[in-house]
Structure 1
Amino acid sequence: MPSRRMPSQSQIRSQMRSAQRKAESQTKNEIRKAQRQTERDLTAAVNKWERDTNRKLRTARPKATYTVSEERYLAPVQEEAERQAQSHPERRDVFLCHAWDDREGAAQELHDLLESFAVEVWFSEKDIPLGTSLIRAIDKGLKMSRIGIVLVTPAMLRSLAAEGVADKELSALLATDRVIPVTHGTTFDDLRDESPLLASRSGLSTQDSSLEAVAVKIADTVRPEAA
Structure 2
Amino acid sequence: MATFNASEFNRKLRQAQQQAERELKRQVDAANRKIAAHNRTVINNYNREVEQHNRRADAHNQKVIGEINRRLAAATRPQVTVRYTPAEQELVDRVQAALPVDDREYDLFCSYARIDGAAVAEQLHAELTALGLDVWLDTVEIQPGKSMSRQMDHGLRLARAGVVVLTPAYLAGRFWTERELGALLHKDTVIPVLHNVTFADVRNFSAIMQDLAGFTTAEDNIPEIAAKIASAVLLQA
Change (3 A) 1:125 1:53: farther
Give the whole-Å Cα distance in 1 for the aligned partners of 2:170 and 2:66: 26
Moved >6 Å (runs of 4+): none
Amino acid at match of 1:185: N
Change (3 A) 1:195 1:225: closer
Is residue 107 of structure 2 the alignment partner of residue 93 of structure 1? Answer: yes
Report 1:151-162 matches (<5 A).
151-158=165-172, 160=173, 162=174
Aligned pair partner of 2:144 in 103, 113, 130: 130
- 1:62-81: CA deviation from partner (whole Å, max 9, x where unpaired): 22111111111211212333
Is residue 206 of structure 2 the alignment partner of residue 195 of structure 1? Answer: yes
Change (3 A) 1:50 1:225: farther
Amino acid at match of 1:91: E
Give the whole-Å Cα distance in 1 for the aligned partners of 2:72 and 2:94: 30
Aligned to 1:168: 179
Is residue 71 of structure 2 the alignment partner of residue 56 of structure 1? Answer: yes
> How far has the Cα of 1:119 moved from its partner?
1.4
Give the whole-Å Cα distance in 1 for the aligned partners of 2:197 and 2:143: 31
Preserved contact between residue 96 and residue 236 of structure 2 (Cα < 8 Å) = no
Preserved contact between residue 191 and residue 199 of structure 1 (Cα < 8 Å) = no
Please, which runs of 5 or more residues in structure 2 have no aligned partner?
A: 1-47
Amino acid at match of 1:80: A
Is residue 121 of structure 2 the alignment partner of residue 107 of structure 1? Answer: yes
Preserved contact between residue 111 and residue 163 of structure 2 (Cα < 8 Å) = yes
Amino acid at match of 1:65: R
Aligned to 1:67: 85
Preserved contact between residue 199 and residue 212 of structure 2 (Cα < 8 Å) = no
State, as a whole percentage, how many aligned pairs show the same letter.
Answer: 33
Instruction: Indicate the SS of the match to 2:145.
Output: coil
Preserved contact between residue 110 and residue 211 of structure 1 (Cα < 8 Å) = yes
Change (3 A) 1:102 1:114: farther
Aligned to 1:144: 158
Preserved contact between residue 58 and residue 115 of structure 1 (Cα < 8 Å) = no
Please, which runs of 5 or more residues in structure 1 have no aligned partner?
A: 1-33
Question: Normalising to structure 2: TM-score of the pair?
Answer: 0.67
Aligned pair partner of 2:134 in 80, 104, 120: 120
Give the whole-Å Cα distance in 2 for the aligned partners of 1:201 and 1:131: 38
Question: Normalising to structure 1: TM-score of the pair?
Answer: 0.70
> How far has the Cα of 1:128 moved from its partner?
0.8
Aligned to 2:189: 178
Aligned to 1:208: 219
Preserved contact between residue 203 and residue 212 of structure 2 (Cα < 8 Å) = no
Amino acid at match of 1:214: I
Task: Please report the RMSD computed on the Cα atoms of aligned residues, expressed in angstroms.
Answer: 2.8
Q: Whose Rg is larger?
A: 2
Change (3 A) 1:103 1:47: farther
